[in-house]
Amino acid sequence: MGIETFGAALRRLRGDMSIRDAARLANVGKSYISDLENGRRTPSLAIATALDRALGAKGELVALAPSAPDHKVLSRPGLKISEDITDVLSRIDRLNRAVSPEIIRQLRDNLGDIIFRYDQLDHSDLVPALLRQRTWIDTLLDECSHPRERQQLFEIACGTSGILGYIAVGRGRFPLARAYCAEAFQLGDFAQDSNLQAWARGMQSFCEYYARKYDEALSLALDGLAYANSGPQGVRLTINCMARALGKLGDAEGVHRAIDQAYDLVSCNESPKGLPSSISFECYSSAQIASNAATAYVSLGMPEKVQQYIKIALPDINKSESPWSRSLVMIDYAVSLISSKEADLQHVEDLVLDALNISADRPIISIQQRAMEFARLAAQRWGEAGRFSDIRDAIYAREVR
């Protein structure tokens, strides 16, 4: 058997550790590690030493480096490995590898613009650009050594992955959404930003809610509150995540408490006017709190509460450019009318058909699920007297892809 090469030893010692983690520990690029393992590069003694220490190789990698002294000499206790000027200057060069501040600024601005206009954009058109941005950020991270710049890149990557996860939820692609949202949470941790981590937990909870895993949605929301620290994401987590999950679980008292908690938290944060982006890093608005409260009460079968909160939310929602928000609140209102003695069957059917038409060209899973729930509840009250087949046809004609 021949002598093991440096690359083979590196691959063996790395074991289950990812190339990315090994590169980060040794302060080199991911592609550099790959090149070493495949014999495309020869490590300097400094690199070999850094990798040896990072992987706990006890001198094994240093001994295999081409510039290493004799192995027996290396094994002497207390012997210091010398470096030449090239090793030191090479290390300085790696430490100084940076990304242009202008690139980071434009990436951040692009992400902010997507978030700001998210509720008016066609999400299918967004995905290719978001994927390119996410891939490029990984390349920049591989090349960048500056801690603050890496932190900024992690922040932008977190937002990018989170939005991709949110879009995947809307398409009903829950396994992919879970992966993106989990990645967003990890990137928020790398960015050392608890508000981003709370935001990512909100995305994860949102995913499980529409996957109909309400216990998991509630658990993620509660964990997210530990990261929110009474900050703006606490409002999203209590009203969009906790209150709605508790409604599906039939916990009326829990819903009341969550809504009260959301209003308490909003008083501690700067709440925007109108209907801001549904995926903003900032605080929810009054209209967003009210519309989510209405949805929670829909699940509990409390029509008076639904109508009370829709009345609060409706003026801002009607003025918004979000077709989804208008569709969802109309369906919630229609559901609240089903139990009314004076309910007009044709009126509630027209409400739902109009709601489906508003967002017909951009279907998402939330509208599909709520419209199907309306059809089920309405059929329970009126039997086959209504145009429920028309509503079902409209739902399936706008099937989420």
**Position 242 in a domain:** yes
In tens, the pLDDT along 17-56 reads: 888 888 877 777 777 888 888 888 788 777 888 888 888 8
Q: Are residues 283 and 378 in the same domain?
A: no
**Position 246 in a domain:** yes
CATH, residue 90: 1.10.260.40
Residues 6+ apart with CB under 8 A from 112: none
User: What is the chain's alpha carbon radius of gyration, rounded to the nearest angstrom?
Assistant: 27
**Position 249 in a domain:** yes
Q: Are residues 153 and 258 in the same domain?
A: yes
Is residue 188 predicted with pLDDT exceeding 60? Answer: yes
CA distance 302 to 256: 12
CA distance 252 to 243: 9
At residue 397, the pLDDT reads 62
Q: Are residues 296 and 373 in the same domain?
A: no
Is residue 244 predicted with pLDDT exceeding 60? Answer: yes
Q: Are residues 331 and 289 in the same domain?
A: no
Q: Are residues 228 and 296 in the same domain?
A: yes
Residue 255 in contact with residue 246, Cβ under 8 Å? yes
Q: Are residues 107 and 158 in the same domain?
A: yes
**Residue ending a domain, choose from 95, 123, 150:** 95
Greater pLDDT, 373 or 68 = 373
| Average pLDDT of the residues of the chain | 87
**Position 203 in a domain:** yes
E runs forming strands in 198-239: none
**Residue ending a domain, choose from 75, 95, 115:** 95
Greater pLDDT, 243 or 77 = 243
Q: Are residues 72 and 186 in the same domain?
A: no
Greater pLDDT, 92 or 136 = 136
DSSP state of 81: P
In tens, the pLDDT along 257-282 reads: 999 999 999 999 988 998 999 899 99
Q: How many CB atoms lie within 10 A of CB 95?
A: 12
Q: What does each C-alpha distance from 341 to 67, 178, 337, 345, 346 come to in angstroms?
A: 88, 42, 9, 11, 14
Query: Of 297, 290, 338, 295, whose CA–CA distance to 314 is shortest?
Result: 290
Q: Are residues 180 and 110 in the same domain?
A: yes
**Position 123 in a domain:** yes
At residue 346, the pLDDT reads 84
Q: Are residues 106 and 89 in the same domain?
A: no
Q: What is the domain range of residue 166?
A: 101-312
In tens, the pLDDT along 278-331 reads: 899 999 999 999 999 999 999 999 999 999 999 999 999 989 888 889 999 999
How many structural domains is the chain composed of?
3
Local confidence band at 399 (pLDDT 50, 70, 90 cut-offs) = low
Residue 292 in contact with residue 318, Cβ under 8 Å? no
Is residue 91 predicted with pLDDT exceeding 80? Answer: no
CATH, residue 121: 1.25.40.10
Q: Are residues 261 and 293 in the same domain?
A: yes
In tens, the pLDDT along 106-155 reads: 999 999 999 998 888 888 888 999 999 999 999 999 888 888 999 999 99
- Which range among 71-85, 162-176, 221-235, 337-351 shows the weakest confidence by mean pLDDT? 71-85
**Residue ending a domain, choose from 293, 312, 331:** 312
Is residue 82 predicted with pLDDT exceeding 70? Answer: no
At residue 72, the pLDDT reads 41
DSSP state of 120: G
Query: Of 128, 124, 123, 157, whose CA–CA distance to 140 is shortest?
Result: 157
**Position 362 in a domain:** yes
Local confidence band at 162 (pLDDT 50, 70, 90 cut-offs) = very high
Q: Are residues 60 and 115 in the same domain?
A: no
Residue type, 202: G
Query: Of 302, 298, 329, 304, whose CA–CA distance to 315 is shortest?
Result: 329
CA distance 145 to 151: 10
At residue 77, the pLDDT reads 47
Greater pLDDT, 380 or 127 = 127
Q: Are residues 194 and 294 in the same domain?
A: yes
- Which range among 59-68, 148-157, 369-378 shows the weakest confidence by mean pLDDT? 59-68
Greater pLDDT, 91 or 185 = 185
CA distance 139 to 137: 5
**Position 317 in a domain:** no
Q: What is the rounded average pLDDT of the residues 202-211?
A: 96
Local confidence band at 73 (pLDDT 50, 70, 90 cut-offs) = very low
Q: Please report, in angstroms and rounded to a whole number, the separation of the first and last CA atoms in the chain.
A: 55
Residue 205 in contact with residue 245, Cβ under 8 Å? yes
What is this structure's pTM? 0.76
**Position 1 in a domain:** no
319 burial class (0-12, 13-18, 19+ CB within 10 angstroms)?
exposed
At residue 365, the pLDDT reads 85
